Amino acid sequence: MPLWDWLNNRGCGIFLHISSLPSNQGIGCFGDSAKKFVDMLSTAGMKFWQICPLSPTGYGDSPYQPISSFAGNPYFIDLEQLKDDKLLFEEDLSGLRRLSDTHVDYGSLYKLFWEILKKSATRFFDNGKTKSEFNKYCHESGWWLENYCSFMALKDKFHQKPWNEWPSMFSTYKSAVKEIQNSTELLKSKKFYQFSQFIFEKQWRKLKKYANDRGISIIGDLPIFAGLDSSDVWADTHFFKIDKNFLPKFVAGVPPDAFSKTGQLWGNPVYNWEELSNDKYSWWINRIKRCFELYDVLRLDHFRGFCNAWEIPYSSTSAINGKWEDTAGIDFFKKLKHNFPKSKFIAEDLGDLDKRPQKLLSQTGIPGTTVLQFAFDSDSNNKYLPHNHEKNNVLYLGTHDNDTTRSWYESLDEATRHKVRSYLMVDGHDISWDMIKEAFKSTCNLLILSMQDILNLGSEARFNTPSKVDRNWQWRVTQDQLQTLYNSDTPRFLRQLCNIYGR
């Protein structure tokens, strides 16, 4: 008997991360463009909006290398709403107004954004009208907020150096508490980061309610690993394989695969699952509890990591010399079932899986992942071909790690392109929409389309290229592109496809 069984109805949604939305502040945010996107989802008959993790990002700007697994990314705060509250004024935003609307310039954003947010915080605390609301938030969220805000205050004090390079009295949260409490400077900085999370939470809950009220559920994402330079590892070092010098003994990644001949060296510290088990998985339970405060459905990235993980010696320069080590297993998911009996999970179970991860997925009953772009590189038994799809799966044309469908097709050799055209029975001149229409027919109960494919964009709109460290996570859809889409027949055509195929 599977632990969960929730994906019994057919549905469809669109993937578009918050950072990719239009805005005039250098990055997508929780503003009017987000609401207009929700309105379009509703018009198109969509039931889901999928996003990447909302976590604050560190070096490399990847949402899968979070500074905290519990906090939200302040970059997504809609500064227009702070203007409405008289916490900011137009002249404060002049620098952000000059940033690109086609991609996120994270370097410039970092230099400009935080000083602007600090101005709003100063005005907020000087005003004092909503101090009780702020204090209530800090009290209710203290179970994760204290670690994160203390960590960020110390990051500022030590000029953004990694925590394992800080003076010894600050090397763990427990040892740093007294030092922070005795420092006016650190307490002030900590209060600013509490303010940033207070505003983030307030705006996100408002936007999420707007979506939920229109029948749209939010699919969020949980990176399986925590970032090394994160409040998670700093505050709970014993739950990770960290040595006495606060360096990882092993780091995470995957062995050589289709993406990279040398594998992927992610660099995240791996978990000490024995220690987590002895603590009855409290850290993980709290982490997932926090996720369900933010999302309606939770995608578990790199699901096989809950069965076994590719552990690579910290000194390695590639992922080749790693080894598989057992991790959580079914007992962990039984614990989750006890704490989250009716919650909705999705498993990212892609890659070269052996029988053990597949057995674990079957035991949990969690829907797996199917990718249509993977369907044409072998014979008719390929599990990603539509005639082999299973109902308890979520179908994508491509994930955030894949190229856009148009660019993917253009990169294929002619023999494979012929195979695609023959299967779809099309001429290939409108391949993105040929694939979209084929995907709607699939028996997979849930279909998630990407905005790039709906707009039929090429490789310039690719969101992430695994194993590459630059030009990732930057793509943004422009206001003109979205407005053209909203004014076209596309949303109504998508609704028609939903009706025809029972989604």
Q: Write out the two tokens for 503.
A: 């989604």
Pairing of strands 446-450, 11-15: parallel
- How crowded is residue 8: how many other Cβ atoms within 10 Å of its Cβ? 8
Q: How far apart are the first and last CA of the chain?
A: 27
What's the average model confidence in pLDDT over 9-29?
98
pLDDT digits (tens, 9 = 90+) for 43-94: 999 999 999 999 999 888 999 999 999 999 999 999 999 999 999 999 999 9
List, in order of start, the domains of the chain with CATH numbers.
11-71+203-500 (3.20.20.80)
C-alpha–C-alpha distance, residues 287 and 230, integer Å:
14
Active-site hit among 80, 232, 301, 403: 301
CA torsion sign for 438, 38, 106, 255 is negative
Q: 257 pLDDT band (50/70/90 cuts)?
A: confident
Active-site hit among 105, 279, 401, 410: 401
Is 348 catalytic? The answer is: yes
Inter-residue contact 50 to 299 (CB < 8 Å): yes
Those residues with Cβ within 8 angstroms of residue 247's Cβ, 6 or more apart along the chain or in another chain: 164, 314
pLDDT for the residue numbered 366: 98
pLDDT for the residue numbered 474: 97
Instruction: State the pTM of this model.
Output: 0.97
Inter-residue contact 201 to 73 (CB < 8 Å): no
What's the average model confidence in pLDDT over 212-220?
98
Does pLDDT of 352 surpass 80? no
What's the average model confidence in pLDDT over 379-401?
97
One-letter amino acid identity for 252?
A
pLDDT digits (tens, 9 = 90+) for 134-183: 999 999 999 999 999 999 999 999 999 999 999 999 999 999 999 999 99
pLDDT for the residue numbered 259: 67
pLDDT digits (tens, 9 = 90+) for 445-484: 999 999 999 999 999 999 999 877 778 999 999 999 999 9
pLDDT digits (tens, 9 = 90+) for 291-339: 999 999 999 999 999 999 999 999 999 999 999 999 999 999 999 999 9
Active-site hit among 80, 348, 403, 438: 348
Does pLDDT of 496 surpass 70? yes
In the sheet that 323-326 helps form, which strands lie side by side, from edge to edge? 264-269, 250-254, 308-313, 323-326
